[in-house]
Amino acid sequence: MYGLVNKAIKEMMIQEYGTNGWQAICEAVDLENDHFINLQPYPDELTYQMVTAAACYANQPVPDILKAFGHHWIKYTGQNGYGDMLNLGGHDLPTFLSNLDRMHAGMSHAYPELRPPSFRCETLSPNKLRLHYQSEREGLPPFVIGLLEGLGEYLNTPLRVDHSGPCDLDQNCEVFHIDLLEEA
Ligand code: HEM
């Protein structure tokens, strides 16, 4: 994945576990140079290894780290040059989700090797959405849950996300149900 992603992981880990924790994670994955370049693609393997090493270091399951990273990604992109992009996506969740593919596609000038996910959002009722997430990568549904929860916070939209499992017809596709909760 692009360095932007790895940089955000590094920032989250330093915030969570301090520089000593981050150094331990770098050693665990034999990472000699941790100066990631936003616009440079890195092997997916490295990103997965960093997440696995963090889970080991923190004694937490990998899905919990991925979910936390989903929350962090929304804050990180908002504060590191992509706030306008988040603002332009839409001010309500269904609109935002239906613009996500366009948003990722719009980045392909700067990130020509981007292999973005694809999302399709259906409104089942005024308070219930069904989201189809397609990716060539495995194991990232917990990241998507964290992203959706983070997006809910960003848009001031309380919500609950359930990962319902794979689509019937497409093995690269996962289904999520989102309940939009009434304001307390
Ligand atoms: C302005 C905000 C955002 C930026 C700049 C951004 C950018 C990126 C970049 C650079 C990647 C790495 C892809 C690669 O290197 O091939 C990525 C992956 C991903 N993005 Fe976004 N993204 C943003 C917001 C979102 C949001 C709001 C969601 C979903 C709610 C999302 C879902 C994902 C997922 C799930 C991946 C992992 C790749 C995969 O599933 O195969 N992104 N994004």
Provide the residue-wise pLDDT of the chain in tens; the chain has 184 residues: 999 999 999 999 999 999 999 999 999 999 999 999 999 999 999 999 999 999 999 999 999 999 999 999 999 999 999 999 999 999 999 999 999 999 999 999 999 999 999 999 999 999 999 999 999 999 999 999 999 999 999 999 999 999 999 999 888 999 999 999 976 5
Residue nearest to atom 28 of ligand 1 (CA): 147
The class level of CATH for 80-180 reads alpha beta
Residue nearest to atom 26 of ligand 1 (CA): 147
Question: To 10 degrees, what angle do helices 3-28 and 44-58 make?
Answer: 50
Residue nearest to atom 24 of ligand 1 (CA): 74
Say whether pTM exceeds 0.85: yes
The domains of the chain are located at 3-60, 80-180
H or E stretch at 133: strand 128-134
The reply to whether ligand 1 has any atom less than 6 angstroms from the CB of 144 is: yes
Strand partners of residue 109? none
What is the number of helices (H) and of strands (E) in the chain?
Answer: 6, 4
Residues 6 or more apart whose CB falls under 8 angstroms from that of 22 comprise: 10, 13, 14, 34
